[in-house]
Structure 1
């Protein structure tokens, strides 16, 4: 699940990236409003964390231009402490939620999860056959049996399960699960798919993750 953080305070932005990456998100950073606007238009992010005070273009204008362009990605705007006018303007320009600085990282992640649920049309539990994945509480089960996944394994499986029956290329998985500056070997995807098969397929004697030679991977009911 790929997120965009537009924040000019580099220490805060890096801290958010580390925390969200550890939680299994792929995170792109922008420290300038114009750069953030460009990225938000070019990539299918699941959510955007957007500061108000930005060089180049402030957060209000970034959000307003995205909405005017038809971009409906959920936006969590970071506002000044006790800035009720900031909060009102954030909502008026199209933000979905706001969070006043300084904030708790735990609260920020909870707000993001709520936005993702609403943006996906409610509590969207993914299901293929007897394989279930709940992005909201980061849980996985096969039938009634819980399956423990690492954050990155969860992200790879979610990417595949959001396109059931479709062939998903390694490049597509990397784009959604790793950040935009990832320049490593695409075969890293094979490592995680192998780990997933050991956890969600092998113990149950039924395969859900298939390999399409030359194409990628496909999740189907096993």
Structure 2
């Protein structure tokens, strides 16, 4: 499992806890974004490729429980783990019924949190399985690409770029979201590098410009059969 391919959104208004989570998850290899209120969660999820959300319940502007309900009402199925001091059985039941995938009470054990995060990522993104796009297949654990059952030799960056698009098959992936997810760069960056990598990927796989992966001018790319 290449943890660098996954971005975890930490929604936590307590600065010390947010810093602890970001430090620990970054050291594990994950990419992290941190927000302090519920409204920021909604904005980031809608405009970025978020792999999993660690969600506090009691946040300013919009509570975590309401954030979870709104995301699910909009059919956004990104895994959500409540990480909260609300510790009654009733709270847990309400959190899970709101659409969360898991519920962890503070204070928490970091090793347990890591295990649960990895479990939900594996379940949701089917990491141990093979991603498919037309006659293309990507074995995520082996970092192997096959086209019509023939191996294609891609660099790590090319593989991660392609995997990002296939993982979001049918969705337009913006240039910025790709740069942030694959290159881990969270500031303005010359996204022209993506065209260089895409040309290399298409050449190696002998793809026409509109075959399987299409360029959406001014926006990004979309993997579509």
TM-score normalised to structure 1 length: 0.65
Looking at structure 2, the residues matched to 107 and 55 of structure 1 have their Cα atoms a distance apart, in angstroms, of 27
Gap runs ≥5 in structure 1: 143-149, 194-206, 217-222
CA shift for structure 1 position 90: 0.6
1:102 aligns with 2:90: no
From the superposition, tell whether residues 157 and 96 of structure 1 become closer, same or farther in structure 2 (CA, over 3 Å): same
Structure 1 residue ranges, 4+ long, deviating more than 6 angstroms after superposition: 152-157
3-state DSSP class of the match of 1:3?
strand
Name the counterpart of 1:84.
89
Looking at structure 1, the residues matched to 80 and 182 of structure 2 have their Cα atoms a distance apart, in angstroms, of 19
CA shift for structure 1 position 15: 1.8
Q: 2:118 aligns with which of 96, 113, 119?
A: 113
Q: 1:2 aligns with which of 7, 19, 23?
A: 7
1:124 aligns with 2:129: yes
Q: 2:59 aligns with which of 54, 63, 82?
A: 54
Which one has more relative contact order, counting CA pairs under 8 Å at least 6 apart? 1
3-state DSSP class of the match of 1:78?
strand
Looking at structure 2, the residues matched to 17 and 75 of structure 1 have their Cα atoms a distance apart, in angstroms, of 16
Name the counterpart of 1:23.
28
Q: Deviations over 1:35-81 (max 9, x none)?
A: 11221222231111101110111110000011111111110111326
Looking at structure 2, the residues matched to 180 and 36 of structure 1 have their Cα atoms a distance apart, in angstroms, of 19
CA shift for structure 1 position 125: 4.7
On the 8 A contact 1:6/1:31 being kept in 2, the answer is: yes
Q: Matched residue pairs, number?
A: 206
3-state DSSP class of the match of 1:53?
coil
**Over the residues paired in the alignment, what is the CA RMSD in angstroms?**
4.5
Q: 2:178 aligns with which of 162, 173, 178?
A: 173
CA shift for structure 1 position 171: 4.7
TM-score normalised to structure 2 length: 0.64
3-state DSSP class of the match of 1:8?
coil
Gap runs ≥5 in structure 2: 1-5, 146-155, 198-203, 210-216, 221-225
Looking at structure 2, the residues matched to 77 and 20 of structure 1 have their Cα atoms a distance apart, in angstroms, of 16
Looking at structure 2, the residues matched to 154 and 87 of structure 1 have their Cα atoms a distance apart, in angstroms, of 39
From the superposition, tell whether residues 81 and 139 of structure 1 become closer, same or farther in structure 2 (CA, over 3 Å): farther
